[in-house]
Chains A and B, each alone.
Chain A
Amino acid sequence: MKYILMMHGKKSGWDEYARWSKEDLQRNVEFMRSFSKELHDAGVFVDIKGLAWPQEARIVRAGNNGEPVTDGIFPESKEFLAGYWVIDVEPRAGVSDCCPCIGRARARRETGESAD
């Protein structure tokens, strides 16, 4: 069963992250790397992606004339997706075992259907 684990944060969280010391960043990256290796070795790893900073995020809606209408203004409380992991685990097992290792994450099951 496939699950997506999503890590979110506010823009202020990104600013804070940017102030982390080199040592702290390295420790975090090292942790994530070793955790990914663990997932690989366990045969549950499917995908991992990091997203660009939310400054470039846009909300798009269809305009009346078929042209996309974009909006880049968000409330300060807006939680942006920072990155995600996709794992393939046994039903009802393993998900919450994996999540703590990557901190705050949202576990959602993927349907296996397309997004429509």
Chain B
Amino acid sequence: MKYILLMSGTKAGVDVYRTWSKKDIGAHRAVLSSLDRELKVSGEFVATQGLAAPHEARVVRGLNEGIPITDGIFPESKEFLLGYWIVDVATPERAYEIAGRISAAPGPGGVPTNMPIEVRQFAIHAPAGTES
């Protein structure tokens, strides 16, 4: 069963992250890298990806002609996707366990960030276009 673990945050949250000390960022990344290695050894790792800072985010809608209408104005409360992990696990509980580990990664002063991680299963049926 494949799950995607989504880490989201507000622009304000990203600004705070940027004020972290080099040491705190290093410790945070070290824990997550070690988790990635662990998942690779257990065969549960599929992918992980970080996204660029949300100031470049745009919402795009297409009109009748397919002309893109872009919008870069978001409410301050908007939660942007910051990054994700894709894991292939035997049970949802195992996906929750991995998400808990990500949430426990250290923040400033070594205190766990306790960031909420949204856990979603992939659709069982392939989306249109996957097979082409």
Which residues of A are at the interface with B, using a C-beta cutoff of 8 A? 4-6, 28-30, 32-33, 35-37, 39-40, 48-52, 54, 56-63, 66-70, 80-81, 83, 95-97, 99-111, 113-116
Contact = CB atoms under 8 A, between A and B. Distances in A.
Given A36-B129, A60-B116, A52 B122 contact: yes
B74 to A, nearest CB: 10
Contacts of A50: 122-123, 125-127
B52 A110 contact: yes
Contact of B96 (A4, A48, A68): A68
Contacts of B120: 51-52, 54, 56-57, 80-81
Interface of B: 4-7, 28-29, 32-33, 36, 48-52, 54, 56-63, 66-70, 80-85, 92, 96-97, 99-101, 103-105, 112, 114-130, 132
Task: Specify the main secondary structure of chain A where it touches its partner.
Answer: mixed
A76 B80 CA distance: 18
6 contacts: A6-B81, A33-B132, A56-B120, A59-B116, A62-B114, A100-B66
What 10 A-B pairs come out closest when comparing CB atoms?
A: A100-B62, A36-B129, A115-B83, A68-B100, A50-B127, A62-B104, A116-B32, A60-B99, A99-B60, A32-B128
Nearest to B35: A116
Nearest to A58: B119
A5 B129 CA distance: 15
A72 B17 CA distance: 27
A90 B54 CA distance: 20
Nearest to B127: A50
A33 B60 CA distance: 20
A28 B129 CA distance: 11
B129 A33 contact: yes
Contact of B28 (A101, A105, A116): A116
Given A59-B118, A116-B28, A116-B83, 4 more contacts: A57-B120, A59-B116, A100-B62, A110-B51
Contacts of A108: 51-52, 54, 56-57, 80-81
Contacts of A116: 28-29, 32-33, 48, 50, 83, 105
